[in-house]
Chain A
């Protein structure tokens, strides 16, 4: 294979915008090469292939999948596999699109990992606010049980809606019968997770890549992407763009080619947010040659995270938008850890005073101070993410923030907000595109 046919991978065959059935799925991707683990504590072959492929988790953490798998495989007790398709990030749609259109790819990955680890069960977790994905997955599980008797150890779990409900330790806490709130670690979930068993937990897209790597190998996987970040990835592009939606890209593709494939920007772009609301802004002037790879974005203090790219147009007021998100982030705190509970509220209040103007001044300095004060002081990384978002906003929108602090609200403050906060269902066009 060569050229543009190499993409899409995950979104192959999804043109009809409904879930690919099992027969079509097998015709498209081929049979699943399953390995049966002979001895517990022996290294599954899958681990080596994933290590060669350099696959990293696609939920935002970017942890090497092979290392996580190896840690769980070494454990003495029977492990549990958890597929995280909860997708609490409001600006991300890729996991629900994958669940709705290619559920068998996710289940393939779950089956491979379950067998490789000789795990007791695989729990596929979806958010209660994404019923279409849940239906597609449960239909797919039924279909497999009926047609070839696979997926007998796979079960679907619905998780309450919430930004932090899909956070690793919160998800495990919920599966263990508790509230979906982050817990203090250690123990890490790979040591002690669901039912106190070693737990392999990863994002739904990660499992889909596992399904393809098991079939085509590490070398094939590396035909796309960069050395540091091999393979393809799902990206949710939204904001000031003609056709917002979920696209499959090769890591390293130019942002401009993604935006072009999405019909272009609808207005001049003031800045772009990478990695969602725990991510960082990059100024519009820096975007021309921006490449969608962490090794490139790192120079701007940003990363792709779970593949969220959001364009903020020049007609929007960045101060109003950022203030709204800062309030929302404060509201998403699990309110368990003092520095997060008080710090994010204080951060939102500081942005609020700047946005309204007429404050005493010094609020922008307070934003910066609060960001360094809350970092690494929560049980989970929510305060770190909020601080990253706020601090990059303070840098990129310094001028607008200073103007608002001095003169108060601007005419654009009342424009319809562009940054999505979930709740109302958005009709995201399911585009797919080849960008290699």
Chain B
């Protein structure tokens, strides 16, 4: 079981909260939309990611649990 970040790009309105809370995994493109590192999360990074997910004003960011880790 692995957990990684996923974005609903339709819901995202480029508030940018996520990049502020999780800069090690999320950067913003030139229009302010998040570019997400989809690698599996664990430990402290996972806790930070959970915080970023909760802070998204449009509920566009989510954590996705997968049975097997995806190599990407």
For A339, list chain B residues within 8 Å (CB): 9, 29, 31, 33
Asked whether A184 and B11 contact (CB < 8 A) given A339-B29, A339-B33, A342-B31, the answer is yes
Contact A184 B31 (CB under 8 A): no
Q: Which of A10-18, A319-327, A372-380 contacts B (4 or more CB under 8 A)?
A: A372-380
Residues 330-350 of chain A: 1 if any B CB is under 8 Å from the residue's CB, otherwise 0? 000000111110110000000
For A336, list chain B residues within 8 Å (CB): 9-10
Q: Is A183 an interface residue (CB 8 A)?
A: yes
Contact A337 B9 (CB under 8 A): yes
Contact A377 B10 (CB under 8 A): no
For B17, list chain A residues within 8 Å (CB): none
Q: How far is the CB of A372 from chain B (nearest CB, A)?
A: 10
Contact A379 B29 (CB under 8 A): no
For A337, list chain B residues within 8 Å (CB): 9-10, 12
Contact B35 A338 (CB under 8 A): no
A348 CA to B31 CA in the complex, in Å? 16
For A377, list chain B residues within 8 Å (CB): 9, 33, 35
A96 CA to B11 CA in the complex, in Å? 35
A246 CA to B12 CA in the complex, in Å? 41
A342 CA to B9 CA in the complex, in Å? 13
A339 CA to B34 CA in the complex, in Å? 9
Contact A338 B11 (CB under 8 A): no
Q: How far is the CB of A182 from chain B (nearest CB, A)?
A: 8
For A343, list chain B residues within 8 Å (CB): 31
Option from B10, B13, B33 in Cβ contact (under 8 Å) with A379: B10
Shortest Cβ-Cβ A-B pairs, 6 listed: A337-B9, A338-B33, A342-B31, A336-B10, A184-B8, A379-B10
Identify 18 new A-B residue pairs, CB closer than 8 A, beyond the known A340-B9, A373-B35. Answer: A184-B8, A184-B10, A184-B11, A337-B9, A338-B9, A338-B12, A338-B13, A338-B32, A338-B33, A339-B9, A339-B29, A339-B33, A342-B31, A343-B31, A377-B35, A378-B9, A379-B9, A379-B10
